[in-house]
Structure 1
Amino acid sequence: MSAVDDSAAFTVEAVDYAAALPDLRAVRETVFVREQGVPAEIELDALDPLCDHVLARDGVGRPIGTGRLTPERRIGRMAVLSEWRGRGVGDALLAALIERARAHHWRAVSLHAQADAIAFYLRHGFLPEGPRFEEAGIQHQAMRRVIDGPNPVADRETALAAMLGLVATARRELRLYTRELDPGLLDRPELMAAFRRFAVAGGELRILLQDPQSPQREQAPLIALSQRLPSAIGFRVVEEPVDRDFAGAYAVNDRGGWYYRSLGHRFEGETRLDSPGRARQLRAAFQEVWERARPCTEFRALGI
């Protein structure tokens, strides 16, 4: 990966552990030991020589980021020097590690994400598993991603994570097909904040629903948000019998991401962020129903 000048350019490659150990340690000791206070004796462990390692270097060859893939199929030791964060190095390291897992023909990989990095991994298709826990004095969340296949969604919290990943990776379009705005999911504060950021940044959110009365009666926060941002958020109501017979629900974006539930009143389903073929099918199906549906005048703010 490169840019206009050496100060912005970097490369990521798989490396031999023994040969690259000084560079790997230079980054990991800076980030984990000196910056985060992880004890040096546990940062370098017995698994290290058995792992696949990737290393990021700047334009003149200095080490700036690391990551590893253990024989237990777990990604770890993801570290980027502070001056290089927010510049795509972490994304490139993670992509390289997933490519290594793919080369091993592994179906899935897991990781322990530091709490402040959960959103980063959601953007790359990882979903949380179980409660948070403390590791080396830092709050972590176990996460997992199926490689080249859909991830199962089993409950409300995983559904929230799937939706946050979809919104975060959408470019300009996000489509939701829902029965009654999914109370307990689409009204979560984290998701409402993500919808607002998406809309304010120029995104278009279209929502099809079968029952406008229930969310209106419950004062669903998405209604109020749409009244503040009417050019970005639009509702239509499904009325045609052939459309109302559809029992499922789904969300789809314009970057190949989707979350599909065969039963719209439940959160169980599947999600994937890198499946453009399936996303195109869902977007086409949504557009057909959208054209037949009626405008949801019930949600318009007074005076509009």
Structure 2
Amino acid sequence: MNGAPGFRIASVGYRAALDDLRRVRETVFVQEQNVPLEEEWDALDPLCHHVVAYDSGTGQPIGTGRLTPERRIGRMAVLAGWRGRGVGDALLLALIGEARRRQWPEVSLNAQVGAEAFYARHGFLPHGERFREAGIEHRAMRRRLGAPMAIEHVDEAVAIVTALATQARRSLYVYSRELDPGLFDAPPVLEALRRLATRQRGGEVRVLVQDAATPQRNLAPLIGLAQRLPSVFAFREALDPVDRGYPSAFVANDDAGYYFRPLGHRFDGEAGLEHGGRARQLREEFGHVWERARAVSEYRALGL
């Protein structure tokens, strides 16, 4: 399986690739993170589906990951010199792809707290309290494969909007009452929106609000981001009384992702990353209201 330029991803047999797995996992977990060697290797390893990233030039292993019979992803590791170059993304996508091939309805993992945003970008939602594993703070996360996901809490809402912005090919559509404090000012969401806005020409983020004055008065961080990238972000305010009374809120992208909240002042709702029909329906609904709404020109002059 090809990765980005410079590396490739391969599914490997545990025994045949044990030396390659050791080179990466013991470097990252044992040497860098001080995980005891006896805790790094377990009885599940021979039973797992393993993937390894290899340097295309030297053939040396540079990253690993595994999928357990318990439908869990783990032992995700990338050597320091290769981090930030898409290796982790490619490994994770390969493992998700294998779970799909097996027709599993869900996969889960325990993410190191510092990696929560990485997994959120790939549609994993946090659940439960943080805990310590091998002396490192973790958070349980899971992703549904195929079926919609229930969103119940703000941290799940932050994760799914991060995923929607990451999945978007070029465009993201946001319908909100007043930019939802706790959601659209969350650092992972703002970073995902910044990445969408800067990764290619022609990207756009359209934001419809029912109340433009409150975010302006509160100096909403999203407005500040939009001012730095004015060719990408556009804001409009609903004027029609029916539109202003619309009780729901949603986010949809131009791929197959959506997050719908029946009551716009709450975070609970449902979401999916593989539901093109529902995403298209919400985009069409958004477009009708967008045409009737007014441009919020005062945001560009706010001077944050």
TM-score (norm 1): 0.86
1:218-233 maps to which residues of 2 (within 5 A)? 218-227=218-227, 229-233=229-233
**Retained in 1: the 8 A contact 2:30–2:37?**
yes
195 and 18 in structure 1: CA distance in 2 versus 1, 3 angstrom threshold? closer
Q: CA deviation at 1:78?
A: 1.1
C-alpha distance in 2 between matches for 1:19 and 1:57: 15
Amino acid at match of 1:268: D
- 1:267 aligns with 267
- 2:182 aligns with 184
- 1:156 aligns with 154
1:1-304 maps to which residues of 2 (within 5 A)? 1-2=1-2, 8-13=6-11, 15-59=12-56, 61-196=59-194, 198-199=196-197, 203-227=203-227, 229-297=229-297, 299=299, 301=301
Task: Give the gaps of 5 or more residues in structure 1.
Answer: none
Mean CA deviation greater in 212-221 or 149-158: 212-221
TM-score (norm 2): 0.86
Identical-residue share of aligned pairs (%): 59
89 and 297 in structure 1: CA distance in 2 versus 1, 3 angstrom threshold? closer
Q: CA deviation at 1:188?
A: 3.2
**Retained in 1: the 8 A contact 2:212–2:296?**
yes
Aligned to 2:91, the other structure's residue is in SS state: helix
**Retained in 1: the 8 A contact 2:172–2:205?**
yes
Aligned to 2:16, the other structure's residue is in SS state: helix
Q: CA deviation at 1:56?
A: 2.7
Mean CA deviation greater in 159-168 or 116-125: 159-168
Amino acid at match of 1:246: Y
56 and 215 in structure 1: CA distance in 2 versus 1, 3 angstrom threshold? closer
Aligned to 2:189, the other structure's residue is in SS state: helix
Aligned to 2:104, the other structure's residue is in SS state: coil
183 and 62 in structure 1: CA distance in 2 versus 1, 3 angstrom threshold? closer
After superposition, what is the alpha-carbon deviation per residue over 1:106-138, rounded to whole angstroms, capped at 9, x for unaligned?
Answer: 211110112222222112111111232222122
Q: CA deviation at 1:11?
A: 3.1
196 and 79 in structure 1: CA distance in 2 versus 1, 3 angstrom threshold? closer
C-alpha distance in 2 between matches for 1:299 and 1:4: 39
After superposition, what is the alpha-carbon deviation per residue over 1:26-53, rounded to whole angstroms, capped at 9, x for unaligned?
Answer: 2211221122221111101122122222
**Retained in 2: the 8 A contact 1:123–1:168?**
yes
C-alpha distance in 1 between matches for 2:127 and 2:241: 39
Aligned to 2:103, the other structure's residue is in SS state: coil
86 and 227 in structure 1: CA distance in 2 versus 1, 3 angstrom threshold? closer
Q: CA deviation at 1:145?
A: 0.4
C-alpha distance in 2 between matches for 1:216 and 1:93: 41
C-alpha distance in 2 between matches for 1:189 and 1:21: 38
**Retained in 1: the 8 A contact 2:3–2:90?**
no
Mean CA deviation greater in 58-67 or 110-119: 58-67
Q: CA deviation at 1:197?
A: 5.1
Aligned-residue Cα RMSD (Å) equals 2.7
After superposition, what is the alpha-carbon deviation per residue over 1:258-290, rounded to whole angstroms, capped at 9, x for unaligned?
Answer: 211122111001223343343233222211211
Aligned to 1:260, the other structure's residue is in SS state: strand
100 and 198 in structure 1: CA distance in 2 versus 1, 3 angstrom threshold? closer
C-alpha distance in 2 between matches for 1:90 and 1:268: 30
Amino acid at match of 1:177: Y
Q: CA deviation at 1:153?
A: 1.0
Aligned to 1:30, the other structure's residue is in SS state: helix
Aligned to 1:236, the other structure's residue is in SS state: strand
Task: Give the gaps of 5 or more residues in structure 2.
Answer: none
C-alpha distance in 2 between matches for 1:4 and 1:228: 30
Runs of 4+ aligned structure 1 residues displaced above 6 Å come to: none
Aligned to 1:168, the other structure's residue is in SS state: helix
